[in-house]
Structure 1
Amino acid sequence: MTLLRHTATTHIGKVRKVNEDSILSIPDQQVWVVSDGMGGHAGGDFASRTVVDSVATMPILGDPAEQMQALRRSILAAHDTILREIAARGGGTIGATVVALMISDAHFVCLWAGDSRLYRMRGGQIEMLTTDHSIVAALVLDGQMSWDEAEHHPQSNAITRAVGVGEALELDKVRGPLDRGDRFLLCSDGLTKYAGFETLANALRDTPIEVVADKLMAIALDGGGADNISIIVVDVV
């Protein structure tokens, strides 16, 4: 098993009355999840909890490829559970983003839907490994603005894909080999609203794992803390 260290934290922020984010760390299975709910009190928090609870109860399988499929199935099961809850409530908007990281056999795989993100620090350089499922993401991919600029666009919160939204859920996937010294950051947009690439890189580059999540959280809260904030950092030792 690859030697890993991690830290995780979530915060309601300075404005919201409910934390609709949920996080999950299962170091024994080398799985980490951030989910950002939407739908208000008793909606968004239900959705994000449904996502992490479903992943937390997925079966433990020996084969890495089978385990990745179990992770995918657990998120799809959460999607179906949320749809049933929406029907039981007579409609409405309930959903959640998800970004899930699994590490096995010196490789990583990430599944995601929405605008919660996975970054990697490697060799002192930061890279965003996910691509937001949002209206402004299309403008970034078309070269009209940067990801940092997109955070300040009027439609920055308009996501186009989420768990619990639409009949079928499509999860995107990125995978690759690990290098010693890799550092992964999973986060909700409550952090990235206040921390662009340079700010994230500076915070992640030399900060010890014991305090890096607190440092990132302070950046988001000092910036305004208008949203819930969730942060998981995983180091490849």
Structure 2
Amino acid sequence: MIRLRHVSATHVGHVRKVNEDSILSLPDAQVFVVSDGMGGHAAGDFASQTVVDSVATMPLADTPAAQMQALRQALLTAHAAILSEIAARGGGTIGATVVALMIADGHFVCFWAGDSRLYRLRGGEIEMLTTDHSIVADLVLAGQLSWDAAEHHPQSNAITRAVGVGEVLDIDKIRGEVQRGDRFLLCSDGLTKYAGFAVLRDLLSDTPIETVTERLMARALEGGGADNISVIVVDVA
């Protein structure tokens, strides 16, 4: 029997006036979501909130496979709702990244679009399980940059995929087995701008779940806090 413990936090940061991130934890469904809005005040926060609201109201299914499909459909429903809002406003850019984690029957599945990320700490080693949908990600995959260096590239914020952007939402998926002792981190780029792989590994390895969000937030805020910061940490027991 898999037992999960989770903590979450979101912070506006030092520069922005509005928090355009939204987070969601559904322990009964074992679903966790981080969404980072784009498009400015009254647009970005609307987009990210639409994403988490859609997931929050999805039906609880009888099987993991059905729950996984419900989660995917919730993201597609959010995409349609944002497109409708764009049309009602007469156009413009409104969208949100999303990373959504579901755990069931000894396995995990993650859906994502954009540059919000899922990491896993296992056996003292950290791995980024998602791949950013961004211009700089293409440079990383081509071997021209490391992920840590990409955070400081002039086009680091230029994403190529998001909920509410384009007629059809292209959602990536990764799945795999979970092990006892696994620690998952879902986060927006407000954290990863200031915490590379080594920092995340050390913070996630050395910090109990009761204080891990505070330490992650402190790292981002001490680094500058130029963006909204959102984190969810999930431990597998």
TM range (shorter): over 0.9
What is the CA-CA distance between 1:182 and the residue it aligns to?
0.1
Cα distance between partner residues in 2 of 1:17 and 1:38? 14
**1:25 paired to 2:25:** yes
Cα distance between partner residues in 1 of 2:9 and 2:27? 15
CA RMSD of aligned residues (A): 0.5
Cα distance between partner residues in 1 of 2:54 and 2:203? 32
> Partner residue of 1:137?
137
Amino acid at match of 1:138: D
**1:11 paired to 2:11:** yes
Q: Structure 2: which 5+ residue stretches go unaligned?
A: none
State percent identity of aligned pairs.
77
What is the CA-CA distance between 1:154 and the residue it aligns to?
0.2
> Partner residue of 1:161?
161
SS of the residue corresponding to residue 210 of structure 2 reads: helix
SS of the residue corresponding to residue 48 of structure 1 reads: helix
What is the CA-CA distance between 1:96 and the residue it aligns to?
0.0
Q: Structure 1: which 5+ residue stretches go unaligned?
A: none
**1:40 paired to 2:40:** yes
**1:189 paired to 2:189:** yes
Cα distance between partner residues in 1 of 2:2 and 2:162? 31
> Partner residue of 2:113?
113
Please list the CA deviations of residues 52-71 of structure 1 after superposition, one character each: whole Å capped at 9, or x if unmatched.
Answer: 00000000111111110100
> Partner residue of 2:222?
222
Amino acid at match of 2:138: A
What is the CA-CA distance between 1:201 and the residue it aligns to?
0.3
Number of equivalent positions: 237
> Partner residue of 1:77?
77
TM-score (norm 2): 0.99
> Partner residue of 2:97?
97
What is the CA-CA distance between 1:207 and the residue it aligns to?
0.6
Cα distance between partner residues in 1 of 2:119 and 2:154? 24
> Partner residue of 1:58?
58
Cα distance between partner residues in 2 of 1:9 and 1:63? 29
What is the CA-CA distance between 1:40 and the residue it aligns to?
0.5
SS of the residue corresponding to residue 97 of structure 1 reads: strand
Cα distance between partner residues in 1 of 2:27 and 2:73? 20
Cα distance between partner residues in 1 of 2:187 and 2:74? 20
SS of the residue corresponding to residue 131 of structure 1 reads: coil
What is the CA-CA distance between 1:108 and the residue it aligns to?
0.3
Amino acid at match of 2:224: G
Cα distance between partner residues in 1 of 2:118 and 2:79? 21
Task: Summarize the alignment of residues 193-208 of structure 1 with structure 2, pairs less than 5 Å apart.
Answer: 193-208=193-208
Amino acid at match of 2:8: A
Cα distance between partner residues in 1 of 2:122 and 2:163? 30
Please list the CA deviations of residues 162-198 of structure 1 after superposition, one character each: whole Å capped at 9, or x if unmatched.
Answer: 0000000010000000110000000000000000000
Cα distance between partner residues in 1 of 2:86 and 2:158? 20
> Partner residue of 2:122?
122
Cα distance between partner residues in 1 of 2:54 and 2:177? 26
Cα distance between partner residues in 2 of 1:178 and 1:204? 17
What is the CA-CA distance between 1:101 and the residue it aligns to?
0.2
Amino acid at match of 1:55: V
Amino acid at match of 2:189: D
Amino acid at match of 1:98: V
SS of the residue corresponding to residue 210 of structure 1 reads: coil
